[in-house]
């Protein structure tokens, strides 16, 4: 008995909810949209020329456009659009809506659109808030772009054992080691590099540590690290000897 009662209740609940759902779908609706023609449209904030566009049932015959509770205009034939400029209204928060009338006497209320109308000065401030950081980012990127080649040029002085993230290579021309540049073009088998020792261009793969070590010892043999300060006496002797030829 109790179960049967619940079943009936469930059926009624289902029927009612489906019924109201159908009723809502059959109800003619009036939709309001806001389109920008020219101007600024940030999140919830607008400035410039805009068009309010109402769409409703086929037999829509008259649409009244409202800003807050004030009538902006009436359109009595499609397209049901109303153009306006934000400067014609006071800055601040406003609610747009429309009321539609159908030929068979139905009155429809649309959705509401809330927007903050900005004055041209506000828009300039808002735009600056977006543009200034953007310009800063562009500026930094430009500086990085200009600075990067300079940094690489400075790094060209070869230092034994320092090859950087792209690894070192052994020059096929002179057999000396040098670091590969991260930004050098990749040519499948290796990177296109310029040897700092013999100035030969070649496509070089990353060399193994053993190969690099071997090349390093070759480099040290070929270009012995000349001590910058030789003993003073020897230096003096050498200078004297050299000056003798000048006389």
Contacting residues toward Zn ion, per CB under 5 A = 171, 173-174, 195, 197-198, 200
Q: Which helix (H) or strand (E) element contains residue 105? A: none
The CB-of-127 to Zn ion minimum distance in angstroms stands at 55
The CB-of-196 to Zn ion minimum distance in angstroms stands at 8
Residue nearer to Zn ion on the CB measure, 174 or 203: 174
The CB-of-197 to Zn ion minimum distance in angstroms stands at 5
Residue nearer to Zn ion on the CB measure, 98 or 195: 195
Residue nearer to Zn ion on the CB measure, 45 or 197: 197
Q: Which residue in 126, 107, 87 sits closest to 30, CA to CA? A: 107
Residue nearer to Zn ion on the CB measure, 80 or 219: 219
57: its two tokens = 């049932």
The CB-of-169 to Zn ion minimum distance in angstroms stands at 10
Residue nearer to Zn ion on the CB measure, 200 or 237: 200
Residue nearer to Zn ion on the CB measure, 62 or 218: 218
**How far is it, in rounded angstroms, from Cα 172 to Cα 190?**
12
Q: Which residue in 101, 109, 122, 105 sits closest to 40, CA to CA? A: 122
Q: Which residues have CB under 8 Å from 53's CB, separation 6+?
A: 32, 33, 34, 35, 79, 80, 81
**How far is it, in rounded angstroms, from Cα 31 to Cα 81?**
12
The CB-of-172 to Zn ion minimum distance in angstroms stands at 8
The CB-of-143 to Zn ion minimum distance in angstroms stands at 33
**Cα torsion through 228, 231, 234, 236, rounded to 10:** 80
Q: Which residue in 51, 50, 47 sits closest to 125, CA to CA? A: 47
């Amino acid at each position: 008995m109790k179960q049967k009662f619940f079943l009936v209740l469930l059926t009624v609940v289902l029927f009612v909810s489906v019924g109201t759902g159908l009723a809502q779908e059959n109800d003619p609706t009036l939709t309001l949209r806001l389109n920008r023609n020219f101007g600024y449209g940030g999140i919830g904030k607008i400035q410039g020329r805009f068009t309010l566009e109402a769409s409703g049932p086929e037999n829509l015959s008259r649409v009244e456009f409202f800003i807050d509770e004030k009538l902006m205009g009436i359109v009595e034939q499609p397209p049901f659009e109303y153009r306006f400029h934000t400067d014609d209204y006071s800055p601040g928060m406003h609610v747009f809506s429309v009321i539609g009338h159908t030929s068979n006497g139905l009155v429809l209320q649309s959705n509401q659109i809330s927007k903050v109308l900005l004055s041209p000065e506000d828009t300039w401030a808002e735009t600056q808030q977006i543009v200034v950081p953007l310009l800063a980012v562009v500026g930094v990127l430009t500086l990085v772009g200009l600075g990067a080649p300079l940094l690489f040029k400075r790094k060209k002085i070869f230092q034994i054992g320092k090859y950087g993230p792209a690894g070192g290579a052994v020059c096929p021309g002179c057999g000396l080691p040098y670091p590969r540049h991260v930004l050098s073009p990749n040519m499948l088998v290796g990177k296109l590099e310029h040897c700092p020792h013999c100035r030969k261009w070649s496509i070089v793969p990353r060399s193994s540590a053993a190969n690099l070590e071997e090349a390093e010892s070759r480099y040290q043999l070929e270009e012995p690290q000349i001590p910058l300060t030789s003993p003073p006496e020897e230096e003096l002797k050498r200078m004297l000897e050299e000056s003798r030829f000048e006389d």
